[in-house]
Structure 1
Amino acid sequence: MILVSLDKLKEEANRVKFLSRLIGEVPETDDVKFGFTSRDLSFDEQKPDFDAPKFDSLRSALSYDLQQYSDLLAARGVATDLLDWDDLRRHLR
């Protein structure tokens, strides 16, 4: 099993790594012309201040969950080196 952040596939070295794991070979590929990150989405309301104290308990719970499932993924041998961990943690401090 491989978990991947689509934005990571913009880099050719990451596409090579992904395809070799997925299909065992590396066919020639075009550049990835798209990406997805929630940072690029527009919303009709103001973005919350996730650093505000009112989000402390939520951040704590999500940080705990992220640590638990990252440990579980590692223990099960799931490839996560193509995940954008910084993006996953960006509001957790």
Structure 2
Amino acid sequence: MPKIYALPSKILVAETLVKWEVLDWLSRNIGIVHRSEDPQKPIHSGEGWRFIFTYRFASINTRRTTVKIEFDDSVPDDIILYFLLRFGDST
């Protein structure tokens, strides 16, 4: 189950495990993707609601990675829930 944290700044942080293929879809359709090693250089900026998610690579064999997503208050709650249900993976 994804871990969800509500911060005082109205930023919702969700940590979940996703397949690597999802990262490309996210970058094209939803937000700004940053490499965790260098958050100042986005891989791709997509159209849509403003949020940033960072990731670190997991094993090549698992084809999954841990993703930390920071949604700001411009993202509707139903979009956040959709994202977690659609792409979250607790395995």
Q: Could you state the TM-score of these two structures normalised by the residue count of structure 1?
A: 0.27
Larger radius of gyration between Structure 1 and Structure 2: 1
Relative contact order (C-alpha < 8 Å, sep 6+): which is higher? 1
Q: Could you state the TM-score of these two structures normalised by the residue count of structure 2?
A: 0.27
Q: Which one has the bigger helix percentage?
A: 1
Q: Which one has the bigger strand percentage?
A: 2
